[in-house]
Structure 1
Amino acid sequence: MREWSRYVYTCLFYVAVPILLVRLWWRGRESAGYRRNWWQRFGFVPKVSSRSGPPLWIHAVSLGETIAIAPLVQRLLDQYPDLPIVMTSMTPTGKARAESLFGDHIQHFYCPYDLPDALSRFIKRLNPLGCLVVETELWPNMVAACEAQKVPLMVANARLSARSARGYHRVKSLAYPMMRRLSYLVAQSDADADRFRQLGVPDERIAVSGSIKFDIHVDPVQRREGELLKQRFTGRFVCMLASSHSDEEAQFLVASQSMLARFPQLLLLVVPRHPERFESVYQYFVDQLGMAAVERRSLPASVTDNTRVVVGDTLGEMLLFYTAADVVVMGGSFVDVGGHNPVEPAAVKTPVFMGPFYHNFAVICDAMVESGGMAYVESMSQALEKTASMMVEPAPLLGMGAAAFAYAESQRGALDRLFLQVEKRLINPPV
Structure 2
Amino acid sequence: MLIQCYTTLGWILFYSLSPLLLWIPLSKRRYRDHFRERLGLLPLPRLKALGGGPRFWIHAVSLGEVKAAEAIAQAIRKHVPDAVFVVSTITPHGRRLAESVFKQQAVVVHSPLDAAPCVKRALKAVRPDVLVLLETEIWPLWVAAAERMHIRTAIVNGRISPRSIQRYVKLRAFFRPVLERISLFSMITAADRDRILAMGAPRERVVVNGNAKYDLLGKSIRAEDKDRFRRLLSLEEGQPVIVAGSTRTGEEKSILKAFERVRKAFPEAVLVIAPRHLERVREIEALVKRAGLPCELRTGLDGVGRRRSAPVVILDTFGELFSLYSVATLAFCGASLVPLGGQNPLEPAAWGKMVLYGPSMEDFTDARALLEGAGAGETVQDGDELAERIIWYLSHPGTREERAAKGRQAVLQNLGAAERHALEILKLTGPFTL
* Equivalence map 1:146-161=2 (5 Å): 146-161=146-161
Deviates more, 1:227-236 or 1:192-201: 227-236
1:182 aligns with 2:179: no
Equivalent residue for 2:113? 113
1:423 and 1:429 in contact (8 A); partners too: no
What is the identity percentage for the equivalent residue pairs of Structure 1 and Structure 2?
28
Q: Partner of 2:34 in structure 1?
A: 37
Q: How far off is 1:353 after superposition?
A: 1.0
Q: Does 1:269 align with 2:272?
A: yes
- Report the CA distance shift for 1:33/1:70 in structure 2 as closer, same or farther (over 3 A): farther
Compared CA separation, residues 333 and 22, structure 1 to 2 (3 A): farther
Within-5 A mapping of 1:140-289 = 140-219=140-219, 222-230=222-230, 232-235=234-237, 236-286=239-289, 288-289=291-292
1:403 — aligned with what? 406
Alpha-carbon distance in 2 for matches of 1:182, 1:400: 42
Shift of 1:286: 4.6
Q: Which stretch shifts more, 120-129 or 224-233?
A: 224-233
Larger mean CA deviation between 101-110 and 80-89 belongs to 80-89
Q: Contact 2:39 / 2:118 at 8 angstroms: preserved in 1?
A: yes
Change (3 A) 1:161 1:182: same
Q: 1:13 to 1:338 in 2, by over 3 A?
A: farther
Contact 2:281 2:316 in 1 (8 A): yes
- So what's the TM-score if we normalise by structure 2? 0.88
Residue among 295, 298, 319 paired with 1:296 = 298
Q: Which amino acid aligns with 2:59?
A: H
Deviation at 1:149, TM superposition (A): 1.8
Change (3 A) 1:342 1:18: farther
Query: How do residues 45-64 of structure 1 correspond to structure 2 at under 5 angstroms?
Result: 45-47=42-44, 48-50=47-49, 51-53=51-53, 55-64=55-64
Contact 1:233 1:303 in 2 (8 A): no
SS at 2:163's partner residue? Answer: helix
Q: Which amino acid aligns with 2:246?
A: S
Unaligned runs of 5+ in 1: none
Amino acid at match of 1:349: G
Shift of 1:5: 6.4
CA distance in 1, matches of 2:145, 2:300: 43
Specify the SS of the correspondent of 1:163.
coil
Contact kept? 1:161, 1:362, Cα under 8 Å: no
Distance 1:77 1:255 in 2: 47
The 3 A distance-change label for structure 1 pair 200 and 119 is: same
SS at match of 2:402: helix
Letter in 2 for 1:210: G
Matched to 1:340, the amino acid is Q
User: Is structure 2 residue 86 aligned with structure 1 residue 102?
Assistant: no
Contact 2:354–2:404 under 8 Å retained in 1? yes
Name the count of aligned residue pairs.
424
Q: Report the alpha carbon displacement of residue 8 of structure 1 after superposing the two structures with TM.
A: 8.7
SS at match of 1:181: coil
Alignment-derived partner of residue 378 in structure 1: 381
Aligned to 1:356: 359
Deviations 1:31-81 (CA, angstroms, capped at 9, x unpaired): x65541123112122333255156310110001110122122233345434
* Structure 2 counterpart of 1:128: 128
CA contact (8 A) 1:260 1:308 kept: no
* C-alpha contact (below 8 Å) 1:6/1:174 kept by paired residues: no
